Structure 1
């Protein structure tokens, strides 16, 4: 079986053992390359099969996206639906320091499976994971009717957050670095950022991006941090103080009112195929994983979401 791993020579497709153990075997149909994957590859992180954004098909022909969170289901956080905050030692994510979906097949626990609704093809369903991240962030903003929303960052998470907020009826503007990202935002119904906003979503994860979030937020506004900061988040002190801004952190996805964020993300994508057509810009066979990673790491080349197909 083929599997994408990192090595001293960079990303390569290696031979791996066939999946074993309890769970449901999926023939992988699509797997997205996340910014985390690109960062891990560049920094030399090794020892596992990459890929936490993936979907596949079982032997009986049913297709699923995978919610890759490993959680105990018994701690206080899990019992209240916050599986992304699981306190157990085994908490983690498939494809991040443990084998993930950049391979021909994988066995996953049944409770990780998200059935694909009609209208969502397995070749596009790797977007369910990142759309869930975006959806969780939008929900964390606690938007009220009539509020204006801006998103700083035009990568896949920012665009999927824009699509989610638009789906819920909000006016959304996106500030993006590259022209192809701005074009994609327009295709999803978002405008160009101008003025001030009730809620600003940080989907850039940079010092300049966070400073822009504070600038765009109105006095008393809210900033949702979905960008990843490895050390200290560079929150602008004066602007945040003078405007009395509230900062809300958001990571991964959870359950609320008995519904999984991943299920809602799958429904969103199924109901609006234009989202996948807009966000997925490049597709590669699994054997071309090294080139796919190169393209994914070069945003100026026109890449938004790069997808591998085993």
Structure 2
């Protein structure tokens, strides 16, 4: 089968590899669609921290935001999975440790992460093998575009829930990228008054098309009481500012990651009686995200700017966008697609 492989920083290609077989407890999925994520870009550039910590090494098969259809199952797996449309949890715990036993497999020290950590091959290929226990069935109302947005949506759902939002609360989301916009959608669903702060007017203009009107660059941010501040940015200075801006006794949530240290003065946390929450993964929020998409209460499909084939993934990771792409921040890949797209350098 064809698979996209990163061989080293800036080195990649589509190669023919042996298709996966379903080991005991596993299922093989025919991949329908995959989202390209900032984590994939960091692996392509060589900046991803897991490379430096020894949790991942080249060559890599990327792709952890995916959907597809089960085509085979291994020993011990119910055959009724065959033919079902699914997406899957990225975080695969060992299943034996204390964290896995109490439902925290996403922070298991020995975990694999699909397309990210521990050598587990990702979904930028025609087929993917994963533990059947990591699969989530998708209803017909969740199409392939939505299916490949469940994983990032699960992260955003958890961030919005961690902010302890009540109807009428005023929430400030920092960073209008894919995760920030998804967070804003889930916060709006909870009844919050949602404000977004971004770096560029272009990103804020796109947020306006999604129905958000309270849009700010930092220099124009109003002096308002923020009942929650959710940092979905990659700016190292914003975690401390989130604590500065949030109302005493309320919450800041950190879901974005900077490329360098982001110091926060714990005296500010304590003296303001602020609760700070970090969000790593989508795992505990995947089912709720599927339900939100299926009901139509959250529809992130406008975030997808273009859909390309495997042959075009390298250009996307290198920072180009397909000609004719929409304004959204997300690029999707159809691994079976063969059409090559024209690209332009991102402005």
Of 55, 64, 71, the match for 1:52:
64
Of 8, 24, 29, the match for 2:27:
24
Q: Is the 8 A contact 1:224 1:247 kept in 2?
A: yes
The Cα of 1:296 is off from its aligned counterpart by: 6.7
**What SS is found at the alignment partner of 2:312?**
helix
Deviation sequence 1:208-250 (CA, Å, 0-9, x none): 3324423431233321011124663322577656644332111
Of 108, 113, 123, the match for 1:101:
123
Provide the residue aligned with 1:232 in structure 2.
Answer: 261
**What SS is found at the alignment partner of 1:222?**
strand
Q: Is the 8 A contact 1:188 1:275 kept in 2?
A: no
Deviation sequence 1:102-136 (CA, Å, 0-9, x none): 10101211111111123211233111100011111
Distance 1:24 1:237, change over 3 A: closer
In the alignment of these two chains, the number of paired residues is 301
Q: Is the 8 A contact 2:31 2:128 kept in 1?
A: yes
Q: Is the 8 A contact 2:7 2:60 kept in 1?
A: no
CA distance in 2, matches of 1:19, 1:273: 36
Where do 5+ consecutive residues of structure 2 fail to align? 52-57, 72-81, 217-221, 336-347
Of 45-54 and 208-217, the range deviating more from structure 2:
208-217
Larger radius of gyration: 2
Would you say 1:276 and 2:269 are equivalent positions?
no
Provide the residue aligned with 2:342 in structure 1.
Answer: none
Q: Is the 8 A contact 1:38 1:296 kept in 2?
A: no
Of 135-144 and 185-194, the range deviating more from structure 2:
185-194
Provide the residue aligned with 2:37 in structure 1.
Answer: 34
Provide the residue aligned with 1:220 in structure 2.
Answer: 249
The Cα of 1:51 is off from its aligned counterpart by: 0.8
Provide the residue aligned with 2:112 in structure 1.
Answer: 92
After superposition, where does 1:141-160 map in structure 2 within 5 Å?
141-160=163-182
Q: Is the 8 A contact 2:236 2:258 kept in 1?
A: no
Distance 1:80 1:187, change over 3 A: farther
Provide the residue aligned with 2:3 in structure 1.
Answer: 3
CA distance in 1, matches of 2:61, 2:199: 31
Q: Is the 8 A contact 1:203 1:226 kept in 2?
A: yes
- Larger RCO: Structure 1 or Structure 2 (Cα < 8 Å, ≥ 6 residues apart)? 1
Where do 5+ consecutive residues of structure 1 fail to align? 256-260
Q: Is the 8 A contact 2:166 2:190 kept in 1?
A: no
Q: Is the 8 A contact 2:206 2:328 kept in 1?
A: no
TM-score (norm 2): 0.78
Of 128-137 and 270-279, the range deviating more from structure 2:
270-279
CA distance in 2, matches of 1:249, 1:103: 31
